[in-house]
Structure 1
Amino acid sequence: MALNFHQLHIFYTVAEKGSFSAAAQALHMTQPAVTMQVQSLEDYFGTKLLRRSTKRIELTEAGRALMPYAKRSIDLIRETDASMSKFTRQLKGRLQLGASLTIGEYILPRLLGPFGQEYPHISISMKVMNTAQIMEEILNHQLNFGLIEAPVNHPDMHMEAVLSDELKLIVANSHPFARRESVSLQEAMECPFVLREQGSGTRLVMEEQLMKMGADPSAMKIVMELGSTGAVKSAVEAGLGVSFVSASSVKHEVALGLIRMVPIEGIQFKRQFYSIYLKSALLPISAVTFLTFLRERDLQQWL
C-alpha cells in the first residue's frame, strides 16, 4: 500500500475536528469510511495515530509528529491548484458561490463577463445574500465559498482579502453639497442619513472609519434604514438624505447626473472584500481558478 494524499487529508481533518463524525460531515463522507481510511493510514505506518476516548479524539505521539506533514501536503495541493489554474483555459465545471449584496449586485456582474470569456466552459451559479447566510450555507456544505464585505471570525473558516473598494458620500444632484468640491466631516455629520441596516458590511466599515476619525456614529441623524443598496440610492436620489455606499454601486446614477459623490476632506473609506471557505475544504479547481483571477488581474479595467 502506498501513502496517499486523500488519507492524509482525512487524518488531518479528524485531528482538527476532534471527532470522526464531525470530520465525516466536513468531508462529505460516511463515518465508517473516515474510520477505515484512518485505520489504513495507521496500518501503513504501523502505529496508532489517534487515541479514541469517549469525549474527544486525541493525537498520539506519532500523530502529533505527522500533523505538520499532513498540513504541508494540504497547503501544497492548494498551491498547486492555484498555480496550475493559470493554464486551465479549457477547464470545465460549475462555479458555485455566495456573494453579499454589494458584491453580488454591483461588483461581480462586471467581473463574471471577462472571466466567462477566458473560461467559457465554466458555468456560474451565484447566490446573493447576507454574510450570515453565506457562512451558514458554507458550513452546511451547500456552497463552496463566498465573497463578503466585512471580515468575520470563525474557527472553521479561512478568510482572505481578494478585492479593494471605497465608500463614498453620495448626495442628490439637488443637494447643496452637489456643487461643492469637498465637505468637512463635521458638515457631513450634520446631514440626515439614509443608511443600510445594522450589521451590513457597508455600515460596519462606515462606522469603524468614523470612530477612527473621532466621530460618534450614534450621533448621526439617521432618518431611514434600508435593506439594500438600491433602496438607499433611490432614497438619496429623492432627496430624503445622504449616505455612504460603494463607489462601484453608483456609477450609473453619477453618469446620469442623478447622484453626486462628494469627497470628505482628509478621509478615505477604503475597505477590502474577502473570500471565505472551510479550512478543511479543498476547493474545486473552478473555484480556485476564479479566486486566482480575482487576485492576479487588474480588475479596475472592468470596475
Structure 2
Amino acid sequence: MSITLRQLEIFIAVAETAQVTKASKKLFVTQSAVSMALAELENQLGGSLFDRHGRSLLLNARGRFLLPLAKDITCQVSNIENIMSERNDTLDGAIDIVASTTLGNYILPYLIGAFKRVHPNVHVNLLVYNTRYAEKMVLEKDVDVGFVEGPLSGHSEIQERDWFEDELVVLCGPTDPLAHNEVFNIDKDLKGKKWIMRESGSGTAAVVRERFGKYMEQVNVVMEMGHPEAVKKGVESGAGITCLSALSICREAENGWLKGLKIEGLNMKRQLRIIQRTDLDMSDALAEFLSFCDVMTICDDSGICLSSPWKLQSLLARHSAMKK
C-alpha cells in the first residue's frame, strides 16, 4: 500500500500538536483514526517517527527528516488545487500540434489535459509521428508547433529551441540475466544479445545508432517496430532487449514487468526540442500553451518519471509556486 496524502496530513498535525487528541480535534477526525493512520505510516516507512513521553509524541530523527518533505508534498497538492481551479475562460482558439512518438504518447497528453483544465475553450489537436515526419509537417505548415526527440535536418525555415533532457536506457525482461544488474556494461553485456529496434526515421533509433557508434556492429537486430509499446511487448515476451526512453518505461519498471538499465560508459542523454516555422504568426492560445510547457524545464533530474499525471501535477505545482 502506498503512502497517502491523508497519512501525511495526520503526521504533520501530530508533529505540530505533539498529541493524538489535539491532532484529532484539529483535523476533525477521531483519535482512533489518527492513531491508525500514524501506525500505518510508521509501518510503511519501516520504523517509528516519534518518541513517546507520557501523553506527548515528540519527533525523533526519522520524523524530523520526514516533516519538511511531508509539508512540501501537502503544499504542492494545495498549489495543484489552486492551479486547476483558476480557470481562464477568456482564452479560445485552436492549436495544432505534432509530436514525435515518445513525447506524443507519454508526455504531451498529460500536459494538454492539464492545459485544458485551465483553458477549456482552447481546442488542441495532437498528431503523433516520428521525428522525420513531424519536422516535415511543421515545415509544410500542416501544424503550428512540433515537439521532437530526434536529430533535425537543419532546414533554414525551421527554428528550434531546447525543451528538456531525456535519457535512453537498455530495457530487458524480468527473467533476463541482465535484470540482476544495475547498469548495462556495453563492453561486456552486448555480446550474444538479440535486439528489438525502433523503425528507421524514429528519433530514438537515430540516437541509439549515433551514440553506439562502433558498437552497432555487434548489435544483432532481430526485428524493428514502429511504436515503443510494441517494442516493450516484444521485450516482455522474451524476444530480445532494446533501448528506449526512460520516459516510456516508467509504469513497467515500477511494477517490475521490465527492467531499465543505464548504459555504463556512454552518454545516452538527448535534448528534446520544440520546433516552429520562423515565419509563424503565433496566436495567443499557442503562446500560452508554450509558456505552460515550460514547466518541464524546471525538472533538473532527467531520470524523473514524467509520464505520470501525478508527477506532472507536482511539477505544475512547483512551477506555480515559483511564479508567485
Same structural fold, with TM-score higher than 0.5 when normalized by the shorter chain:
yes
Aligned position for 1:148? 148
Shift of 1:176: 0.4
Letter in 2 for 1:259: L
Aligned to 1:260: 259
C-alpha distance in structure 2 between counterparts of 1:187 and 1:233, whole Å: 23
Structure 1 residue ranges (4+ consecutive) displaced by more than 6 angstroms after TM superposition: none
Aligned to 1:9: none
Equivalent position amino acid for 1:156 in 2: E
- Determine the C-alpha separation between the residues in 2 that align with 1:183 and 1:144: 39
Structure-1 residue corresponding to 2:171: 170
Report the CA distance between 1:296 and its aligned residue.
4.1
| Equivalent residue, structure 2, for 1:227 | 226
Identity of paired residues, percent? 29
What SS does structure 2 have at the residue aligned with 1:233? helix
User: CA offset at residue 295 of structure 1?
Assistant: 2.2
Q: Is 2:244 aligned against 1:245? A: yes
Per-residue deviation at 1:189?
2.0
Structure 2 unpaired stretches of 5+: 1-85, 300-305, 316-324
Amino acid of the residue matched to residue 197 of structure 2? Answer: L
Aligned partner of residue 275 in structure 1, secondary structure: strand
Q: Is the 8 A contact 2:95 2:124 kept in 1?
A: yes
2:205 aligned to 203, 206, 227, which one?
Answer: 203
Using the alignment, how far apart are the partners of 2:250 and 2:295 within structure 1?
24
Q: Is the 8 A contact 1:168 1:263 kept in 2?
A: yes
TM-score, normalization by structure 1: 0.65
Distance 2:164 2:283 in 1: 21
Query: Deviation at 1:124?
Result: 1.1
Q: Deviations over 1:72-124 (max 9, x none)?
A: xxxxxxxxxxxxxxx99442121211111111111212222222223232221
- AA in 2 matched with 1:100: S
Does residue 93 (structure 1) correspond to residue 93 (structure 2)? The answer is yes
Secondary structure of the equivalent of 1:141? coil
Deviation per CA, 1:148-178, whole angstroms, max 9, x where unpaired?
A: 1123111111111113211111100110011
SS at match of 1:232: helix
**How far, CA to CA, are the matches of 1:234 and 1:277 in structure 2?**
34
Distance 1:279-1:172 versus aligned 2 partners, 3 A rule? same
Shift of 1:144: 1.0
1:174-222 deviation per Cα after TM superposition (whole angstroms, max 9, x unaligned) = 10011122231113322211110123100111122223xxx43233111
Cα deviation per residue 1:223-255 (whole Å; 9 max; x = unaligned)?
A: 111111111101000111111101111112112
Counterpart code for 1:155? S
Matched residue, 1:194: 196
Q: How many residues align?
A: 214
- Secondary structure at the residue paired with 2:150? coil
Name the SS of the counterpart of 1:160 in structure 2: strand
SS of structure 2 residue aligned to 1:195:
strand
Judge conservation of contact 2:102–2:248 (CA < 8 Å) in 1. Answer: yes
AA of the residue aligned to 1:97:
I
Extract unaligned runs of 5+ from structure 1: 1-86
Q: Does 1:183 align with 2:176?
A: no
The Cα offsets for residues 24-58 of structure 1, whole Å up to 9 and x where unpaired, read as xxxxxxxxxxxxxxxxxxxxxxxxxxxxxxxxxxx
Q: Which amino acid aligns with 2:124?
A: I
Structure 1 stretch displaced more, 235-244 or 150-159: 150-159
Bigger shift: residues 288-297 or 268-277: 288-297
Instruction: State the one-letter code of the partner of 1:291.
Output: L
Shift of residue 134, structure 1, vs aligned partner? 2.4
* 1:140–1:265 distance in 2 versus 1, CA, 3 Å: closer
The answer to which structure, 1 or 2, has the higher relative contact order (CA under 8 A, 6+ apart) is: 1
Aligned residues of 1:194 and 1:241 also touching (Cα < 8 A): yes
